[in-house]
């Protein structure tokens, strides 16, 4: 681990990142990010490969596997600046979730086999954890894997599987023993989505987007050498999600970037009396949001500080998660209000609209649907209610 | 950026906590206004420890520990409900003097203040200006014998025990900070006590002569000194609110753990657990922002993040302290328990230094300045 960057190094590094984003992200995609729209599978892969070419494809991996060996602080600055600069996000499943698990628990052979493809998105991974009857209470999952010689025969199904319709592979949790405490009977398998018996059904968000899916597993054969770790140790493996990932749930850089957009919209958009920004109520609203964003930024830095000092964030992660979601939602709601009628155009309709239809240049428009995406994180990976239970128990000793 | 206390700052925190636990009882001293504190043992010992000048430079008799230690100190005052002229003297007047250009009068009073030999206060706020301490209408009048002042200043804290007033006014259009000792002819303070026990006054100036030596700062220097004073006051108020919330919240958690109703401890009700968790998350954000803002003031004495800190402290303080009463039930309403004093204090602080909207606007202003740099 390298030492924290000093102020001058940090400034230089941030410039380097911004220049890279300006040079490598096409205008069309920058617009999409600014407007909160989803980018396609092909666009995501193109972007990830540019990052890989630059040596930035998985900055938290060791250099040997295409990572960087950077210290925590530099990685934090990198991720923050990328988000601030409006770089497209890459789904976390490949490099942020599967990668660290392979590095920690995979055999050399498994690493050789899966890490390179995970890095370049040659293999697009999805995460098979949740099930219809196992949501926030994940350990109650029921998808069964029965050992038959060198294979497991897997039956059951997964739900809320993000980007399963894009995925080549799925890392998943399955039940290999039903006679023990729930957590002790779970194994961690890597499953080829092209195997016989796998089918993917879309689940559309209420606003129309297709990100989530249901994955049905009907007599799917998975070779035993695609199990990570020992049988029945999958719960430990899945829980070992790196502590630093828990920082990312605050989405503070995303909130900061959106705050900039909110300010720009308020200055640009007018009502009968002039720019909205001149209105006292609008400035009060923006100020309220800006204060929350600033608090979130410092809270995230405090989390980083804990990580560097103690190697863990602990229960503080639950506050970051709660407030990260709430703050991002607050910025989105303010943007929606400031955008006014300009926010009415549906995402699918957007590309066909003449640029000057509503506001001049069209840049002041905002795709309302992106706002609804964030209802999701208040539910996924431990709903707000589960976070509150964790805080009550582990921070407040209630 | 620093989110844990250094050994020195921890020492400040521990020392003051023990000092207050030993020498101050908010229930016993219920009737005392903030101005009384200067005669008490806590004030004297803080002076001896060099903590009345905690953020002032050592060259002026301070400790030079900076804004982080100032925040730590104020949080402890908030937690233990200490009422004193610390904000008025050490923070508002002290910062303004420190940021003002060197001069005999300024140097003298800065040392008096830091060493506990003198108490100062700021007289800045005027009628019909809301919370805008920078709106200065009071204008010096030119006469054959020099400048004269006539007018009124509102919400002057701790005038009752102040040895001198730092007064904002205009001289030749430009803003100015002038220092007037309490016996200066033409000064009259009408005293009253605020609902939290803060001693306040309306200060009337009648044909007050203004010798050149009284002018501490003029023009941009006065403007900058005032801005720094307000930024430090915002941080101090936010820190004190944080400390008050921590005190109120910890006592409330203890109560939830112990109190039984319907045959079970209150802490077992999920509705109450979730409310407590939300307050905890609010406080984690406030704590982070207060520390970040203190760090900002270490680098720039007028840093705008301090206003963000107070803009968040106002609603969080109000919510946490209200909930502390509610979660205690009937006993929470009593003077005997005293949990309600936290609410009085945090509400008073926002009446003194601006509500969430006012401080939010000031924070936005500072963001705009950043963009123009």
What is the distance between the alpha carbons of residues B166 and B124, in angstroms, rounded to a whole number?
Answer: 8
CB contact under 8 A, B276 and A299: no
User: Residues A236-295: pLDDT tens digits?
Assistant: 988 876 666 788 888 999 899 889 888 988 988 888 999 999 999 999 999 999 999 999
pLDDT of residue B237: 98
Which CATH number does B7-114 carry?
A: 1.10.540.10
CB contact under 8 A, B288 and A302: yes
**Residue A195 contacts B where some CB pair is shorter than 8 Å:** no
Measured between CB atoms, which of A301, A319, A396 is closest to B1? A301
User: What is the arithmetic mean of pLDDT over A146-160?
Assistant: 97
Q: Which domains, and CATH codes, for chain A?
A: 7-90 (no CATH), 125-235 (2.40.110.10), 245-395 (1.20.140.10)
pLDDT of residue B338: 94
CB contact under 8 A, A295 and B363: no
pLDDT of residue A270: 87
Q: What is the DSSP letter of B4?
A: S
More confident residue, B369 or B15: B15
Per-residue pLDDT at A359 exceeds 50 = no
Active site residues of A: 245
Per-residue pLDDT at A98 exceeds 90 = yes
Per-residue pLDDT at A392 exceeds 70 = yes
**pLDDT-based confidence at B11, cuts 50/70/90?**
very high
Q: Which long-range contacts (CB under 8 A, 24 or more apart) does A67-71 make?
A: A69/A2, A70/A2, A71/A1, A71/A2, A71/A3, A71/A4
Q: Is A200 helix (H, G, I), strand (E, B) or coil?
A: strand
Residues of chain A positioned with their CB less than 8 A from the CB of B289? 291, 294-295, 298-299
CB contact under 8 A, A318 and B281: yes
Which residues 285-314 on chain B approach chain A with CB closer than 8 angstroms?
285-289, 291-293, 305, 308, 311-312
Which residues 43-102 on chain B approach chain A with CB closer than 8 angstroms?
none
Ranking A260-274, A311-325, A346-360, B121-135 by mean pLDDT, the lowest is: A346-360
Domain positions in chain B are 7-114, 120-219, 222-372
More confident residue, B175 or A262: B175
| DSSP string of A67-94, one letter each residue | -----HHHHHHHHHHHHHTTPPP--TII
For A6-44, give one letter per residue: b (16+ CB within 10 A) or e.
Answer: eeeeeeebbeebbebbeeebeeebbebbbbbbbbeeebb
User: Residues B55-74: pLDDT tens digits?
Assistant: 999 999 899 999 999 999 99
Q: Across chain B, what does the average pLDDT equal?
A: 95
Measured between CB atoms, which of A286, A388, A397 is closest to B274? A388
pLDDT of residue A4: 74
**Residue B360 contacts A where some CB pair is shorter than 8 Å:** yes
**Where does chain B have alpha helices with state H?**
7-23, 41-48, 66-79, 94-99, 104-114, 220-258, 270-299, 305-328, 340-353, 356-372
**Residue B132 contacts A where some CB pair is shorter than 8 Å:** no
pLDDT of residue B312: 98
Per-residue pLDDT at A360 exceeds 50 = no
CB contact under 8 A, B363 and A284: no
CATH code matching the domain that covers B120-219, chosen among 2.40.110.10, 1.10.260.40, 1.10.1660.10, 3.50.50.60: 2.40.110.10
User: Residues A163-207: pLDDT tens digits?
Assistant: 999 999 999 999 999 999 999 999 999 999 999 999 999 999 887
Strands B260-261 and B264-265: antiparallel
Q: Across chain A, what does the average pLDDT equal?
A: 89
Measured between CB atoms, which of B274, B289, B364 is closest to A295? B289
Please state the ipTM of this predicted complex: 0.95
pLDDT of residue A241: 67
CB contact under 8 A, B291 and A283: no
**Residue B256 contacts A where some CB pair is shorter than 8 Å:** yes
pLDDT of residue A383: 84
Q: Phi first, then psi: what are they for B119, rounded to 5°? A: -115, 130
Per-residue pLDDT at B272 exceeds 50 = yes
Question: Dihedral sign, CA of B16, B20, B26, B30?
Answer: negative
Predicted TM-score of the model (pTM): 0.93
Alpha-carbon gap: A295 to the closest alpha carbon of chain B (Å):
5
Using CB atoms within 10 Å of the CB of residue A354, give its burial: 0 to 12 exposed, 13 to 18 middle, 19+ buried: exposed
What is the distance between the alpha carbons of residues B308 and B316, in angstroms, rounded to a whole number?
Answer: 12
CATH architecture of B222-372: Up-down Bundle (1.20)
What is the distance between the alpha carbons of residues A351 and A362, in angstroms, rounded to a whole number?
Answer: 11
More confident residue, A279 or A336: A279
Among A255, A283, A287, A378, which would you mutate to test the B interface (most chain B Cβ atoms within 10 Å of its Cβ)?
A287
User: Residues B219-256: pLDDT tens digits?
Assistant: 999 999 999 999 999 999 999 999 999 999 999 999 99
């Amino acid at each position: 681990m390298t030492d924290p960057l000093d102020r001058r190094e940090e400034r230089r590094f941030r410039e380097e990142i911004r220049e890279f984003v300006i040079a490598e992200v096409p205008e069309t995609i920058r617009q999409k990010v600014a407007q909160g729209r989803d980018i396609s599978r092909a666009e995501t892969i193109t972007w990830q490969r540019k990052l890989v070419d630059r040596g930035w494809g998985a900055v938290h991996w060791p250099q040997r596997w295409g990572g960087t060996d950077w210290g925590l602080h530099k990685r934090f600055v990198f991720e923050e600046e990328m988000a601030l600069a409006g770089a497209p996000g890459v789904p976390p499943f490949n490099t942020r979730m599967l990668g660290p698990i392979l590095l920690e628990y995979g055999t050399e052979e498994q690493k050789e086999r899966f890490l390179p493809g995970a890095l370049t998105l040659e293999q697009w991974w999805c995460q098979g954890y949740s099930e219809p009857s196992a949501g926030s209470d994940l350990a109650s999952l029921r998808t069964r894997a029965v050992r038959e010689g060198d294979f497991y025969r897997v039956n059951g199904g997964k739900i809320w599987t993000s980007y399963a319709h894009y995925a080549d592979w799925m890392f998943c949790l399955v039940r290999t023993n039903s006679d023990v405490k729930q957590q002790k009977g779970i194994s961690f398998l890597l499953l080829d989505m092209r195997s016989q018996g796998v089918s993917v059904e879309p689940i559309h968000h209420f606003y129309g987007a297709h990100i989530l899916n249901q994955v049905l597993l009907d007599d799917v054969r998975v070779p035993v050498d695609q199990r990570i770790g020992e049988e029945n140790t999958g719960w430990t493996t899945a829980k070992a999600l790196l502590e630093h990932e828990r920082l990312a749930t605050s989405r503070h850089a995303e909130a900061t970037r959106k705050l900039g957009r909110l300010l720009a919209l308020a200055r640009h958009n007018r009502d009968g009396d002039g720019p909205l920004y001149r209105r006292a109520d609008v400035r009060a609203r923006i100020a309220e949001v800006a204060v929350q964003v600033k608090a979130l930024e410092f809270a995230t830095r405090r989390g980083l500080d804990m990580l560097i000092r103690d190697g863990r964030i602990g229960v503080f992660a639950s506050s970051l998660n709660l407030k990260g979601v709430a703050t991002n939602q607050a910025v989105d709601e303010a943007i929606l209000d400031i955008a006014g009628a300009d926010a009415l155009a549906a995402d699918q309709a957007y590309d066909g609209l003449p640029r000057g239809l509503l506001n001049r240049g069209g840049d002041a428009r905002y795709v309302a649907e992106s706002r609804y995406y964030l209802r999701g994180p208040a539910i996924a990976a431990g709903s707000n209610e589960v976070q509150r239970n964790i805080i009550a128990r582990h921070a407040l000793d209630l | 950026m620093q989110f844990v206390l250094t050994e020195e700052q921890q020492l400040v925190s521990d020392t003051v906590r023990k000092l207050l636990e030993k020498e101050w009882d908010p229930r016993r001293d219920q009737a005392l206004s903030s101005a009384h504190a200067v005669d008490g043992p806590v004030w004297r010992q803080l002076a001896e420890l060099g903590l009345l000048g905690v953020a002032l430079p050592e060259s002026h008799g301070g400790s030079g520990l900076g804004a982080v230690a100032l925040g730590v100190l104020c949080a402890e005052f908030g937690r233990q409900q200490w009422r004193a002229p610390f904000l008025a003297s050490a923070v508002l007047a002290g910062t303004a003097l420190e940021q003002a250009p060197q001069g005999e009068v300024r140097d003298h009073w800065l040392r008096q203040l830091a060493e506990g030999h003198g108490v100062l206060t700021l007289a800045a706020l005027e009628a019909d200006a809301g919370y805008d301490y920078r709106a200065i209408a009071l204008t010096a009048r030119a006469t054959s014998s020099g400048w004269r002042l006539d007018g009124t200043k509102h919400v002057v804290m701790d005038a009752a025990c102040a040895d001198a007033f730092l007064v904002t006014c205009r001289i030749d259009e430009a803003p100015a900070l002038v220092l007037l000792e309490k016996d200066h002819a033409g000064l009259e303070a009408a005293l009253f006590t605020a609902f939290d026990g803060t001693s306040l006054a309306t200060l009337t100036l009648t044909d007050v002569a203004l010798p050149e030596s009284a002018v501490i700062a003029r023009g941009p220097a006065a403007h900058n000194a005032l801005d720094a004073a307000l930024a430090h006051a915002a941080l101090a108020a936010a820190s004190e609110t944080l400390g008050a919330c921590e005190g109120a919240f910890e006592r409330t958690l203890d109560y939830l753990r112990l109190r039984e109703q319907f045959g079970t401890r209150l802490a077992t009700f999920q509705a109450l657990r979730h409310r407590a968790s939300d307050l905890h998350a609010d406080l984690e954000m406030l704590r982070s922002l207060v520390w970040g803002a203190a760090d900002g003031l270490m680098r720039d004495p007028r840093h705008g993040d301090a206003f963000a800190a107070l803009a968040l402290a106002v609603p969080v303080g109000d919510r946490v302290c209200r909930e502390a009463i509610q979660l205690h039930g009937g006993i929470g309403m009593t003077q005997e328990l005293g949990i309600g004093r936290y609410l009085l204090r945090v509400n008073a602080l926002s009446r003194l230094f601006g509500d969430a909207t006012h401080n939010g606007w000031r924070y936005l202003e500072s963001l705009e300045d950043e963009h123009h740099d």
